[in-house]
Amino acid sequence: MTIGDRIRDRRKQLELSVEDLATKLEKNKATIYRYESDEIENLPITILEPLAEVLKTTPAYLMGWDLDTQYHNTFPIETRKIPMLGTIAAGEPIYAEEEFEYYVEVGADIKADFCLKVSGDSMINARILDGDIVFIRKQTSVNDGDIAAVLIDNEATLKRVYYNDDSITLVSENPEFKPMIFKAGENAVSILGKAVAFQSDVK
């Protein structure tokens, strides 16, 4: 398969016309036909990179260097980087230091603002284990029964949240841990955000 073949195949897989591709690259249709007919065998990187981006693949694939991505039915996964802000307890609350540590790359479909590493085993029945990474979407309230990152005074924990008339109850997903009930005004309890996804190693 030639460079032109790969360009044409990816364009058709994405249901793009020659005119569509030309418009996205700010080229004319004749130039796209030249790419696909291999009239230009060695595409410069200034052309190759934007071409690969529009075709949602890699320059290596288009050039035939990356053999692992040459299957016709494969599509690259779009990713983005989310900041890791530290550790959160799945057990007894631990002191929360909201300090940036590093970025975690995740699928672009995960709508989260930051992530935290889990410490403890109080959420195991929700399949969230010690060492897992939980992705959090910032919001100051959640629905009854949602799993959330909750700040208690200066300590953070991961729990299911239930509301009552004059209190908030934080419930673990492990029967060994008792629910934590806080009356209004007794503690500074605030929602950091809703847990929207988690990343776990295969064990």
Give the catalytic positions in this structure: 122, 159
Rounded (10°) CA dihedral 188, 189, 190, 193: 150
**Alpha carbons 45 and 65: distance in angstroms, whole number:** 14
Give CA–CA dist 186/125, Å, rounded: 29
CA dist., res. 129 & res. 126, Å (int)? 8
Q: What are phi and psi of 173, to 5 degrees?
A: -105, 50
Which residue type is seen at 57?
T
Query: Distance (Å, rounded) from C-alpha 37 to C-alpha 32?
Result: 9
Tell me which DSSP letter residue 101 carries.
-
Place of tokens 């991961």: 158
d(CA 153, CA 114): 20
